[in-house]
Amino acid sequence: MNTQQVTQEEILNVINKLAIQVRDDLQEHSVFEDDSDTLEAVKSIIKIAQMPGQEYPFEEGDTYYTITLGEIIESVWDEQSKEIYLIHDNNYFSTLKDAVKHFQKHSKHTPKIILL
């Protein structure tokens, strides 16, 4: 019997790619039904991806910034942030200055900045 060892990192990469694919496929439908099999699958993916060893860019309570549709959004890292991090492939920044710098490098427009 030929078995191949798979690392936890490889498993998490597959889970993250699957989560992104599910997100992209479901953008057309905008909401999940409460008893949806897809919703349960996404919840399971998130739980598995949050296994010990999963590294996040911030810790609970940290302020961070993301860029979405021409907006720089200030947020505070929490459990919901972890779920969003696993499903969306956003750019995350520790400072507003870094977010603005990145935005200006990739866009000729002025960003709308949304602070808490």
Is 1 a residue whose pLDDT tops 50? no
- How is the chain split into domains, by residue range? 1-55, 57-116
8 Å CB contact between 19 and 86: yes
Higher-pLDDT residue of 54 and 76 is: 76
Give the C-alpha separation, 97 to 7, whole Å.
Answer: 36
How confident is the model at residue 65, as a pLDDT? 95
Residue 82, exposed/middle/buried by CB under 10 A (0-12, 13-18, 19+)? middle
Q: What is the pTM of this model?
A: 0.56
Mean pLDDT calculated for residue range 51-59: 75
Question: For residue 79, what pLDDT band results from cuts at 50, 70 and 90?
Answer: confident
Mean pLDDT calculated for residue range 92-105: 94
